[in-house]
Chain A
Amino acid sequence: MDHSVSSVTPGSGLSRRTLFKALGVGALGVGSGGLAGCSGGLGDDTLRFLMNKPEVVGYFGELITAYNEQSGRPPVFFDSTPTSISAQFVRGVPPDLACYNYQYEASTYVNRDVLTDLRDTAPAQQIAPHVQELVSQFADEEHRFHVLPYSTAAAGVIYNVALFEDNGVEVPTTWSEVIQACQTFQDAGVVPIYGTYQEGWTMAQGIFDYCVGGMIDVAGFYARLREVGDEFEAGADYSFSVVMADAVARMTELAEFDNEDAAARGYSDGNLAFGQGQAAMYLQGPWALGEIEKVDPDLQVATFPLPMTDDPEDTKCRVNLDLGMWIPAQTPHREAAMDLLTYLFQPDIINTYNAENLYYSPLEDAPAQPDERVAGLQEYVDSGRFYQGPSTFIPPTIPLANYLQELLITGDPQAFLRKLDEDWRRLALRSA
C-alpha cells in the first residue's frame, strides 16, 4: 500500500488527482478499476508510464525520479494503479509506455495490432534472440518486436538446503531421483513438497508447468494448435489428451507427495510453512523467495529445475517474461516514450534491476545472476534450455487452475485432459 504513495512522482498540478489515487488504492486494495478513469485526463505533454508490479513499484519510482531530473522533458507520470489494461484499451486511453507482465492477455494486444513495432530501435538489437523469441511464441511471427523483454523470471523447485543435507538427499537430476528423494523425505517424516491447491494459480504455474514443460515441446505444441485452428478435434494426435498424457500422469504421481492438507492451503500458507522449514520442496517462482525471506531471513534455500525424464540433458527450467515493454500505436508521445524506453534499457539500469530483484536480464552478455537462491537456473537460462509455462498459453477463458484443483483433489487425469480438449475446441470454433 505505501508503494502506491511512494510511486507518485512530483508532477505538474497532479497533486489532487494523485492523492485521490493513492487514497483509493489504500482504501480499496487491489482491483480499483474505476479509478483508472482519472488517468485519461492528464495534461497534453505528460507521458504516462504504467508499471504496476507491486513488488517493484518503489524501485521503478526511484528510476523515474532519476529520469525526470535529467531528461529535460516534462516530468513523466508514473502510474502504478493495479488495474486492468484491457479496460484502458477499451476506453481508448492506454498508457504511453507500459512495462507489464507479458502473458496471454498482453499477447492479445500484440495480435490485434495496437502496439508499435520496435524492431529498428537500439534496445531491440541488444536483446538475446532466444529471449526475444519468447514474444512470438504467443503471437504471430510478424509481431515479434511489438514487445521488448525487460525481465525474465526463471523458476524451478525451491528447496530447503538444510533438509536436503540432513536427509542425505542430493539435488535430483532425473525423474527417478525426484521420486526417490520424495520417498526419502516421506520416510523421514518430512513433507516432501508443499502444495497449495486452494489457490489454483499456484498449481498452474508450479506443478503443471514444470511437469508438462519438462516433457513436451511447449512452443511447438501450441504452434501446432494455432495451425490446426478450428479443425481441432478432441483426442487427435496433436491434442491435449494425447500430447500431455504422460506428463499429467507424472504430475499426479508427484502430487502424491504433497502435504495432506494441501487442498485447504493457499499461497501465503505455503510461503509461511516453507519458510518455517515444514517442507523440503516448494514449486514456486522467484516471487515467493521474498515472502519466504520475511518468514525466516536465515533460511538457506536454492532452486533446481525439475527433471522430468531419465536423461539429465532433457531438463529445462520454466521462464516467463515477467516484464516486457511496449508502446501503444495510438500514443501521441511516441518520441518521448522511446526516450524513456531507451533510458530504462541502458545496460547498467536493466541489468541492475534484474540482478537485484532475482530476475534474469534479457540482454546479450548480461552478467550472471548473483543471488544463490536462483543461481541454480543460470546455465539453463544462458543456454536457452527453457520453456514458457504451458499454462500461460491457455487463455483465461479456460479455467485451467480450477480444473487442476479438481484433478489434484479427486484425481482423474483423463477427465482433466478431456475437458481441456473440449474447451479448446469450443474456443477454436468461436474464434474462427
Chain B
Amino acid sequence: MTTDTATSPGTRATDPGAEAPRHRSRVPRTYYLMLLPALALFTFFITLPALAGALFSLTNYVGFGDWEFVGINNYRVMFTDPKILSAYVFTIGFSVVTVIVVNVLAMLLALGLNAKIRLKTALRGVFFVPMVISGIVIAYVFNYLFSTSLPSIVQSLGVGGPLSQSILANEDLAWLSIVIVTAWQSIPMALIIYLAGLQAIPDEVYEAAALDGATPGKQFWAITLPLMAGYVVINTVLGVKNFLNAYDIIVGLTNGGPGTSTMSVAMSIFTGFNSGDYAYQMANAVIFFLVTVIVSVLQLLLIRRRGVQL
C-alpha cells in the first residue's frame, strides 16, 4: 500500500513529457494552498515547540526562571545513566514482543471472524470493545485482576509457582502483564485492518486453489498471507510506533515498578516536567526522537524491499 502511493506520482510525472510545463505552472498552486493550513498548524504546534525543546536540551533550564547553556552535558550524563538506558532496553524489548503478540493474535481472530460463522456481527462487536475503553481504566481493572483475583484463583487451585503471587510485584514477570494488557487493548485496531484486508481478497482465488487441491493451511501460506503482506506491514509500523510511546497502561499497572524494571522512555521523559529536570529529559526526548526515526526508516526500507518482491 505504502509503496503504491509512493511510486505512482513519480511514474505519472515522467510519462507525458509535453504536458509537463503547463501542469507545473497551474496545478501545484492549488495543492500548495490546500496544504497550507495543515502545514502552518503543524509548524506552529509541533515543529517549532520540538525545535525549542531540542534547543533547551543544551541548557540547564528547569522550565522557568534563569538558564544558561551547558553544551552537551545533559547528553553526556544521560548515556551513563542506568535508569535511562534500562528504560530504552525495556521499551524496545516490550515493543518487539507486543507487536508480535498483537499481530499473531489479531490475524488469528480476523481469520475466525471472517469465516462463515454464526453470530459473526455480534462477535465482531464484542472484540472491538477494548478499543473504546480508555487505557488508564483498562490498566486499573487489570491491576486489580493481577494483584488480587489471579493470585487467589491460583492459590485456591493449590498450584504454587510465581502466579500464586501478584505478577505486578515480580520484577521478572511484571513486563508480561504490560504486554498482556497492551495487547488486549491494541488487538481490535489490528483486527479491523486485517478484516478489511481479508475482505479485499476475491473468493475466486480460493475457489481456484481449492480446485487445484490446496489444503486450508496451504491456502493461508500461499494466498492469504502474501496478499495480506501490505496489511501486516501497516500493523507492524503503527504498532511499533504506538508501543514505543507506551505510557498510560504502565502507569496504571506498575508505575514503572517493581523497582524501575518497567519504566518506559515516555514515562522517564515525563518525569522531567515535575522534577525540575526539564532540560535533561529534553535531551532524552531528542535521542528518543532519533531512535524512533531510525526504527521507522529501517522498517520502511525493509517494507519497500519486500513490497517489490511481492
Give the docked Cα–Cα distance between A232 and B185 (Å).
46
Minimum CB–CB distance from A101 to chain B (whole Å) comes to 12
A86 touching B259, Cβ below 8 Å: no
B277 touching A264, Cβ below 8 Å: no
Contacts of B258 in A (CB 8 A): 197, 263, 402, 405-406, 409-410
Residue A382 lies at the interface, judged by CB distance under 8 Å to chain B? no
Chain B, residue nearest A265 (CB): B147
Residue A125 lies at the interface, judged by CB distance under 8 Å to chain B? no
Q: Contact string, B154-175, partner A, CB cutoff 8 A, digits 1/0?
A: 0000000000011011010000
B169 touching A402, Cβ below 8 Å: no
Give the docked Cα–Cα distance between A87 and B169 (Å).
33
Most B C-beta atoms less than 10 A away, residue of A105, A265, A426, A429 = A426
Minimum CB–CB distance from B78 to chain A (whole Å) comes to 9
| Option from A112, A396, A429 in Cβ contact (under 8 Å) with B275 | A396
Residue A383 lies at the interface, judged by CB distance under 8 Å to chain B? no
Contacts of B280 in A (CB 8 A): 397, 430
Minimum CB–CB distance from A276 to chain B (whole Å) comes to 15
Contacts of A238 in B (CB 8 A): none
Residue B193 lies at the interface, judged by CB distance under 8 Å to chain A? no
B259 touching A114, Cβ below 8 Å: no
| Option from B64, B169, B256 in Cβ contact (under 8 Å) with A112 | B64
A90 touching B74, Cβ below 8 Å: no
Contacts of B274 in A (CB 8 A): 84, 86, 105, 396
A105-B275, A108-B276 are contacts. A430–B83 as well, Cβ < 8 Å?
A: no
| Option from B74, B83, B171, B277 in Cβ contact (under 8 Å) with A395 | B277
B77 touching A430, Cβ below 8 Å: yes
| Option from B62, B166, B260, B275 in Cβ contact (under 8 Å) with A263 | B166
Contacts of A200 in B (CB 8 A): 255, 257
A263-B166, A263-B169, A264-B169 are contacts. A405–B257 as well, Cβ < 8 Å?
A: yes
Residue B43 lies at the interface, judged by CB distance under 8 Å to chain A? no
A198 touching B168, Cβ below 8 Å: yes
Residue A233 lies at the interface, judged by CB distance under 8 Å to chain B? no
Give the docked Cα–Cα distance between A426 and B85 (Å).
14
Q: Contact string, B40-83, partner A, CB cutoff 8 A, digits 1/0?
A: 00000000000000000000101111100000011001001111
Contacts of A87 in B (CB 8 A): 63, 273
Residue A256 lies at the interface, judged by CB distance under 8 Å to chain B? no
Minimum CB–CB distance from B24 to chain A (whole Å) comes to 43
Residue B106 lies at the interface, judged by CB distance under 8 Å to chain A? no
Residue B148 lies at the interface, judged by CB distance under 8 Å to chain A? yes
Chain A, residue nearest B256 (CB): A402
Q: Contact string, B209-220, partner A, CB cutoff 8 A, digits 1/0?
A: 000000000000
Minimum CB–CB distance from B57 to chain A (whole Å) comes to 12
Give the docked Cα–Cα distance between A265 and B277 (Å).
30
A86 touching B63, Cβ below 8 Å: yes
Residue B271 lies at the interface, judged by CB distance under 8 Å to chain A? yes
Residue A70 lies at the interface, judged by CB distance under 8 Å to chain B? no
A86-B63, A396-B271 are contacts. A264–B165 as well, Cβ < 8 Å?
A: yes
Residue A399 lies at the interface, judged by CB distance under 8 Å to chain B? yes
Residue B188 lies at the interface, judged by CB distance under 8 Å to chain A? no
Give the docked Cα–Cα distance between A97 and B60 (Å).
27
Give the docked Cα–Cα distance between A397 and B81 (Å).
12
Q: Contact string, A395-415, partner B, CB cutoff 8 A, digits 1/0?
A: 111010011011001100000
A114-B64, A429-B77, A431-B60 are contacts. A402–B166 as well, Cβ < 8 Å?
A: no
Q: What's the tally of chain A residues with a CB closer than 8 Å to chain B?
A: 38
Give the docked Cα–Cα distance between A426 and B82 (Å).
11
Contacts of A266 in B (CB 8 A): 147
Most B C-beta atoms less than 10 A away, residue of A90, A402, A422 = A402
Say what secondary structure dominates the interface of chain B.
loop
A264 touching B148, Cβ below 8 Å: yes
Give the docked Cα–Cα distance between A92 and B63 (Å).
10
A264-B166, A397-B271, A402-B257 are contacts. A426–B147 as well, Cβ < 8 Å?
A: no
Residue B230 lies at the interface, judged by CB distance under 8 Å to chain A? no
Residue A423 lies at the interface, judged by CB distance under 8 Å to chain B? yes
Give the docked Cα–Cα distance between A265 and B259 (Å).
15
Residue A133 lies at the interface, judged by CB distance under 8 Å to chain B? no
Most B C-beta atoms less than 10 A away, residue of A261, A263, A422, A430 = A430
Give the docked Cα–Cα distance between A198 and B263 (Å).
15
Contacts of A423 in B (CB 8 A): 83
Give the docked Cα–Cα distance between A198 and B256 (Å).
11
Contacts of B239 in A (CB 8 A): none
Minimum CB–CB distance from B63 to chain A (whole Å) comes to 5
Residue A55 lies at the interface, judged by CB distance under 8 Å to chain B? no
Give the docked Cα–Cα distance between A197 and B274 (Å).
22
A84-118: which residues lie under 8 A (CB-CB) from chain B? 84, 86-87, 89-90, 92, 104-105, 108-109, 112-114
Residue B135 lies at the interface, judged by CB distance under 8 Å to chain A? no
Give the docked Cα–Cα distance between A104 and B63 (Å).
15
A173-204: which residues lie under 8 A (CB-CB) from chain B? 197-200
B260 touching A409, Cβ below 8 Å: no
Chain A, residue nearest B136 (CB): A29
A198-B147, A263-B169 are contacts. A90–B260 as well, Cβ < 8 Å?
A: no
Give the docked Cα–Cα distance between A114 and B286 (Å).
28
Minimum CB–CB distance from A230 to chain B (whole Å) comes to 11
Minimum CB–CB distance from B225 to chain A (whole Å) comes to 42
Chain A, residue nearest B260 (CB): A402
Most A C-beta atoms less than 10 A away, residue of B255, B272, B273 = B255
B64 touching A430, Cβ below 8 Å: no
Chain B, residue nearest A415 (CB): B259
| Option from B77, B80, B259, B276 in Cβ contact (under 8 Å) with A105 | B276
Contacts of A108 in B (CB 8 A): 62, 276
Interchain Cβ contacts under 8 Å between A and B, 30 examples: A84-B273, A84-B274, A86-B62, A86-B273, A86-B276, A89-B63, A89-B64, A89-B65, A105-B276, A108-B62, A109-B65, A112-B62, A112-B65, A197-B258, A198-B257, A263-B258, A264-B147, A264-B148, A265-B147, A266-B147, A395-B276, A395-B277, A397-B276, A397-B280, A399-B83, A399-B256, A402-B256, A406-B257, A409-B171, A431-B60
**Apart from A84-B274, A397-B272, 14 more pairs, CB < 8 Å:** A84-B273, A86-B62, A89-B65, A112-B62, A113-B65, A395-B277, A399-B256, A402-B255, A402-B259, A403-B260, A409-B258, A409-B259, A423-B83, A429-B73
Interface residues of A (CB under 8 A from B): 84, 86-87, 89-90, 92, 104-105, 108-109, 112-114, 197-200, 261, 263-266, 395-397, 399, 402-403, 405-406, 409-410, 422-423, 426, 429-431
Q: 5 closest A-B pairs (Cβ-Cβ)?
A: A406-B259, A264-B166, A112-B65, A263-B169, A396-B275
